[in-house]
Structure 1
Amino acid sequence: MRGPASPGGRAEAGAWAVFRVFLRLGLTSFGGPIAHLGYFRDEFVARRGWLSEREYAELIALCQFLPGPASSQVGMAIGLSRAGIRGALAAWCGFTLPSAVLMILFALGLTRWGAALPADALHGLKLVAVAVVAQAVWGMARLFCIDSTRVLLTVAAAAMVLYWPQAWVQVGVIVLGAVVGLALRRVAAPIEGSGLAISLSTRTGLSMLACFLALLLLLPLAAQYSSSSNLRVFDAFYRSGALVFGGGHVVLPLLQAEVVSPGWMDADRFLSGYGAAQALPGPLFTFAAFLGAAMSAGPGGWIGGLLGLLAIFLPSFLLMLGVLPFWSRLRGQRGVQAALAGVNAAVVGLLLAALYDPLWTTAVRDWRDAAWVVAGLAALMWAKLPPWLVVLVLGIGGAVSVWFAG
């Protein structure tokens, strides 16, 4: 893999080129993180030759190991390889800003005109969220729950989170998954091959990891003793971004616990925003921009949206820069892969719990709603329709169904 460009004009030109490529991807990459990784391979391996198949596989393996949004982390690493830290920032900006801007605009529209809408006008978007998360649960279960041990771990994780819906229980479930994976090392085999070469010093890596941990440990203390709602918002989104394994839809239960439980936003608006996010290209983590703009805590509006967006992505940026210098040695350890196998199974349990509560319990009211969810799931999984089209059809269909029901 090519190292970062040298300082000065060449670095700026490299960062600008990275931004242009990722902006186009941010405007056109529908379908969630798995689809994003396919777009990235076509663009950067097959078409541009910026990295090899082996190097690309290394990035995917690393991002499966780290918490945070996998597709965004891969994009940051590709930008880093082309133009250094400025390239990583350019890649993130280009891929993230299109959907983030649209999510903030949607939040502002709901805030300004939401009271004028019928109570069930956004009901269809909540049904979309149920269908999309059900698809994610099924796909992740097929990938990560491949033996009886991991199936039992998934069921236990879901039961624990449903019985104790506090945010700290979700973190404990992830830790439990890692412990179980380490105790049963036979569930994972070490990755073969050499490590990924990135031009970052170990000193830089340690500094970034120290910053990540300092924010993770000190922000909750600062928020507890501070009267600043902005600080509490930043802490909530930072912890959500730092502790979500599996990315994408898995952030839903963490954000629900941080935003809905304390009363910063009601469940209906939360799920409506989540459903709208399915129709947009780019990373699903831009849902944080909607929450920051629409919820009662923090500055709200554009400033609140940007605050939530930066806070939820910052852990991924720090972790990518911190772990890359050490990944080639860590990846070959059987214990690391075993812990990851257990964490992945626990993550499926978290998502299964979120599928039931708050999604199903809040959105599905009767057999008509259940039928729309099944139709949406069939359209996504078997008809392979694009997510934006499913959002459009279910959004209209769900609202019409409520209208006819009276």
Structure 2
Amino acid sequence: MSDRIAVTVTRQGAAGEVFRAFLKLGLTSFGGPIAHLGYFRDELVVRRRWIDEAGYADLLALCQFLPGPASSQAGFALGLLRGGPLGALAAFTAFTLPSALILVLFAAGASLFDGQVGHGILHGLKLVAVAVVAQAVWGMARSLCPDRSRAGIAVAAVLTVTFAAGALGQVAAILLGGLAGLALCRHQDAAPARNLAFPISRPVGAAALAMFFLLLALLPLAAASLPFHGLALFDAFYRSGALVFGGGHVVLPLLEAEVVAPGWIGADGFLAGYGAAQAVPGPLFTFAAYLGAAMEPAPNGIAGAFLCLVAIFLPGFLLLVGALPFWDALRTRPMARAAMRGANAAVVGLLGAALYDPVWTSAVHVPEDFALAVLGFVLLTVGKAPPWLVVGLTVLGGILLQVI
């Protein structure tokens, strides 16, 4: 009994710690989902040691397989691991709230990132993402690709996503990496995978999977038969979140079809909000908050933003909760560990490919950009500078480059 009480108290106390950690990430994690994973690794794996490198890579591989926002799913799982269900809720709220509030303000008419200074800030944030993702690739490659076979799997993953772009290429790269791990990594000496002990039972996981499919099937029927616009709104955003692989950018055409085509928001307003979403920290899925606030039919404003945010994130979290209890048991088996070693090496390859496109190609255009990105990388890796300081210095550099 005393052990159970101690665990409960620890988890309740950890929810506040989780909230503070993810609020810091929600305020400083610029650059999109790939960069977010680099920020998570630096803060939660390297600095706070909530999870080891292998366990973190396992989580990334799982979240890449599932539909939904991979970085938010990884954050939700880390919060769940650290603080139980309250920790998961704290991680989601703290990581999502800053960008959601900014985008709701933008929808209300606040003009952000106009003029030279604004463009300099945005460009500096893109260069921060280059440094952060490069640091993540470097650190993960050293621990997850320590031999020729796994380095080869990582290179093969880069080639796979280069010639098969998009979510299909990402899933194929991880699948092929797992198969290669079964063939090449079965006899490597490695400690058994540590059980991550997610506080989710298999019946709860099965119920979450059932809920995911029930909502996916029943919401369109309910929206078609009941004259409530809020229900139609929830259905549109739930289906968009349920059917997207590959992160926030992939959801753009789905959302455009759902909200622009029926006239809920104009095309110009849609694109303006999407542009603003690129300039704020946190998950790109918070674009849903802008749409919910800016759309003409009620519910809109704060109520619409909240409704759309819940709807677009819910399917990805239901799938994650459904998968975790089965995945955690599976990953401790020897054959599964060999497959995960290959899959983890493939994840390094995916991050390496993303470092070039879209992170590098969208940020580094002139030699001065390259120098600023290298400065950020050196500060993070050699100087061990905190990410917020690197963000500030790089943004200042981006402003100077834009103004001079």
Same fold (TM over 0.5): yes
8 A contact 1:202–1:326 mirrored in 2: no
Listed one character per residue, the Cα deviations across residues 208-231 of structure 1 (whole Å, up to 9, x for unaligned) are 34556x389969x99xx9x96764
Please, which of 60, 73, 79 is the counterpart of residue 77 of structure 2?
73
Question: After superposition, where does 1:166-205 map in structure 2 within 5 Å?
Answer: 166-186=166-186, 188-189=188-189, 191-192=191-192, 201-205=201-205
How far apart, CA to CA, are the structure 2 residues paired with 1:181 and 1:272? 36
How far apart, CA to CA, are the structure 2 residues paired with 1:291 and 1:78? 28
TM-score between the two structures when normalised by the length of structure 2: 0.68
Listed one character per residue, the Cα deviations across residues 286-313 of structure 1 (whole Å, up to 9, x for unaligned) are 4135433356999697544774576447
Q: Measure how far apart 1:368 and its partner are.
A: 0.7
2:257 matched to 1:259? no
2:345 matched to 1:349? no
Alpha-carbon RMSD: 4.5
Counterpart amino acid of residue 134 in structure 1: A
Please, which of 95, 103, 106 is the counterpart of residue 107 of structure 1?
103
* Gap runs ≥5 in structure 1: 6-10, 43-52, 81-87, 244-252, 278-285
TM-score between the two structures when normalised by the length of structure 1: 0.68
Q: Secondary structure at the match of 1:113?
A: coil
Counterpart amino acid of residue 81 in structure 2: A
How far apart, CA to CA, are the structure 2 residues paired with 1:255 and 1:198? 26
Q: Measure how far apart 1:165 and its partner are.
A: 2.1
How high is the sequence identity, in percent, across the aligned residues?
Answer: 29
Question: After superposition, where does 1:138-287 map in structure 2 within 5 Å?
Answer: 138-186=138-186, 188-189=188-189, 191-192=191-192, 201-211=201-211, 214=213, 231=235, 233-238=237-242, 254-259=247-252, 269=275, 272-273=278-279, 276-277=280-281, 286-287=282-283
How far apart, CA to CA, are the structure 2 residues paired with 1:402 and 1:57? 38
Q: How many equivalent residue pairs?
A: 353
Equivalent in the alignment of 1:96: 92
How far apart, CA to CA, are the structure 2 residues paired with 1:124 and 1:57? 29
Label 1:309 to 1:337 Cα distance change in 2 as closer, same or farther (>3 A).
farther
2:293 matched to 1:292? no
Q: Secondary structure at the match of 1:385?
A: coil
How far apart, CA to CA, are the structure 1 residues paired with 2:81 and 2:274? 36
Listed one character per residue, the Cα deviations across residues 28-64 of structure 1 (whole Å, up to 9, x for unaligned) are 578523422466658xxxxxxxxxx9xx999769746
Label 1:311 to 1:340 Cα distance change in 2 as closer, same or farther (>3 A).
farther
Label 1:146 to 1:307 Cα distance change in 2 as closer, same or farther (>3 A).
farther
8 A contact 2:156–2:349 mirrored in 1: yes
* Gap runs ≥5 in structure 2: 29-38, 64-69, 257-269
Label 1:15 to 1:354 Cα distance change in 2 as closer, same or farther (>3 A).
closer
Q: Measure how far apart 1:397 and its partner are.
A: 0.8
Q: Secondary structure at the match of 2:173?
A: helix
How far apart, CA to CA, are the structure 1 residues paired with 2:199 and 2:317? 18
Counterpart amino acid of residue 259 in structure 1: L
Please, which of 29, 43, 56 is the counterpart of residue 35 of structure 1?
43
